Structure 1
């Protein structure tokens, strides 16, 4: 039987116990991948194919909606980062998978876990305390918790605090505090928001950093009076962009 025919049968036909065993040992990766993708695949077949030498077959295993939590846990040790990532974010991942990912030495697994909305409070605290700023940054981007955002406002890395500013749940009070951050990079993130309260815009218009003021001119729904004022900015680049913004706003007013 040709490979294409075997793959079609492995992926769609009603299989006997003998068929399952035959196809799981098939020399063609395309046949084994078709088998791994089946919704009715027995758990022992997924177990077997999770260690397959073909990366795409292992990916099919971890992408299978029926992949059980215990196998997802095992997949956290896969050599391929995309497979580890998929295991963490699989709908069947349970507390054991999430905890293993959060406490893993593998940054990719911790990064994937930081994006999960259903992280338990103790695991969130572990992410907040993570030594890698990019893991904490992912939490700032993904969280839907006001208390987590408040905790990350205190992060020692300005890049993390800056992502708090871009989170849609950041409050006006938090944005004001970040607009007074010691780091220009964090303040620039505030200025780069698409929606920014006018009181915060006015504060940033007086920022000592030309980069922050430039972002204020190009990033969001700008205030015509503020752009008129900033068209006289001492920084020529800021003034030029403010003037362009003012012309656009005037045309559409």
Structure 2
């Protein structure tokens, strides 16, 4: 990969004739072709030229809407043609062409396409390659999925179980076994004498069986995966899923615990599960009632309590108690995000900094609440509120003065931070690396601030890409030792056009 050329290919200011030159050499560089295919200003003629030079770019071009069916010969560019079929923009006859393709991988990709002609679907359903039939089963319409649930191969049934279009009755039958003939094959017994358990450290380089795959004649590993897929499928009837609350497999109990349609009786059984992971999945589940939430809030396992804090239905009094003993991460908790105006005000006035910090992560606070939190004496609260829009320059400076390096990065991330403040933060001694990265990405950053950011190894690529960087500096960075910095400088829209043309026409691109 040539970092200069890749940077130029992503540069939105690259002159059109320079784009043409890069297309001419893209055949030798897949990364370059991919970047060119993503250009927003790529014309149809350029897209067709890129396809002819670098056929692998056709998939991206098709999904980006740069090509039409008239631009593609499916025999020359089958992947691009399949991408258009996937977008329902290809010629219908292409589906018939690929359904009889000798390449099983292409038939498999075809099977994932929606809106296929019925005769093509029937042909794929009878394909000799189980991977093709299984892929069809993943995406099939209800009536086809119901029929494929009776397929003799367990791998196809597993795919049917994951398909949300599969009828509820069929999903119930798959996990109970009632009303369906037994499966006769699986990927394990297709290849090995049973009983067989695949060694997770299998030394065979050509073996593609999953670690732990096994079959004793009952196809147990894929059957287990089929049941798990059905339990994770929201279309599976609740009553059929509920019978797995006491199943010996922890993976199946965890899949059940995450279902949003659990009845209270099943929730109570899962709340007493010996495995913390099951209880944690239940704790995060909005289906869990208040009584069990209060029980789980005292669970000895921190992961259970952490999951409970992320439950959108957790009562605020439980949540505020949790944050005193449980790490909840840096994200805005769902219950805090949905808090009413009175609840928000109450949280902002909490005597506990950890609670005030939670509400300070919201970015839609009323001005009065925002300003109160901006003046908070606790650095953790100020750090959380610092990126909030609407804060005045004086407030941001006050935060930095009061709390120093603990809040500088978040102050620098504020979208309303004025250029002069960003300069001051960039020149802070000692340098704050996280703040420099935020400044290097900030749209209001000035040249002096960016020059300071160039001294930081981590901030340097972002600073090199910033359009406010002086053009002579950008040109100098093209000779940097770090390829990331070179690519970023070449992608900088403030790079002079004549320099771009020179880079494309001499030195970096052979004529």
Q: 2:257 aligns with which of 218, 226, 230?
A: 218
Task: Tell me the secondary structure at the aligned position of residue 152 of structure 2.
Answer: coil
Q: Deviations over 1:33-91 (max 9, x none)?
A: 78x9423x39xx94x754425744896489664433573413345xxx5x464254354
- 8 Å CA contact 1:72, 1:93 repeated in 2: no
Instruction: Give yes or no for the alignment of 1:113 onto 2:110.
Output: yes
Preserved CA contact (<8 Å) 1:196 1:220: no
Q: Secondary structure at the match of 1:188?
A: helix
Instruction: Give the greater-gyration-radius structure (CA).
Output: 2
Rounded to whole Å, the distance in 2 between the matches of 1:223 and 1:92 is 44
Structure 2 residues without counterparts, runs of 5 or longer = 1-7, 27-31, 183-222, 294-313, 316-511
1:95 matched to 2:92? yes
- Alignment map for 1:1-253 (pairs within 5 Å): 8-10=15-17, 27-29=24-26, 37-39=42-44, 41=45, 46=48, 50-52=51-53, 55-56=56-57, 60=61, 65-69=66-70, 71-77=72-78, 83=80, 85-89=82-86, 91-143=88-140, 145-181=141-177, 183-194=223-234, 196-205=236-245, 210-211=249-250, 213-221=252-260, 222-229=262-269, 236-237=274-275, 241=278, 245=282, 249=289, 250-251=292-293
For this pair of structures, how many residues does the alignment match? 227
For 1:244 and 1:146, how far apart are their aligned partners in 2?
A: 30
Per-residue deviation at 1:246? 7.3
Q: Is the 8 A contact 2:88 2:114 kept in 1?
A: no
For 2:60 and 2:67, the matched residues in 1 are separated by 13
Q: Which runs of 5+ in 1 are unaligned?
A: 13-22
CA contact (8 A) 1:179 1:187 kept: yes
Q: Report the 3-state secondary structure (helix = DSSP H, G, I; strand = E; otherwise coil) of the residue aligned with 2:72.
A: helix
Task: Note the alpha carbon deviations across 1:223-252, whole angstroms, 9 max, x for none.
Answer: 22023345677xx549x7259737954125
Q: 1:59 to 1:95 in 2, by over 3 A?
A: same
Q: 2:505 maps to what in 1?
A: none
Secondary structure of the equivalent of 1:204?
A: coil
Pairwise CA distance, 1:220 = 0.8
The TM-score, its normalising length taken from structure 2, stands at: 0.36
Report the Cα offset of residue 151 of structure 1. 1.6
- Structure with the bigger percentage of helix: 1
